[in-house]
Amino acid sequence: MSMTPKLRGHFEAELRQGNDAERAGDLARAWRHLERAHVLSQAHAGPHVRVHVRMFAFGWRRRDLRELVGQWVRILVAAPGSWFGRAPLGNTGGANVGILTPLPIPEDLRAMLEA
């Protein structure tokens, strides 16, 4: 199943805002946007893998070994998780969260997913 154009727009906006925040040096905000993009992408294999690759790159630029290892594993399982509906809803995708741990979905993202 592919993303609706509206959902893809929200997903791409989160990625852009994350890039902008990182360029401005606001790393916490940049990561938050990657997490939000992850929540929006979970049901869609291509975007789901893409956001994990972006998270891996973010970890690489920070020389964060824990994130690099965590993202490498997630890159490998993201597509099958999406294809088989096994991606834990609301999971923010970082190595600081269990790979199968569901989390509450913020209301604004929930509205985007349901639209």
Tokens for 58, please give them: 């973010």
Tokens for 57, please give them: 């790159």
Number of other residues whose CB lies within 10 A of the CB of residue 44? 23
Ordered per-residue pLDDT tens for the chain, 115 residues: 689 999 999 999 999 999 999 999 999 999 999 999 999 999 999 999 999 999 999 999 999 999 999 999 999 999 999 999 999 999 999 999 999 999 999 999 999 999 8
Helix/strand/coil for 74: helix
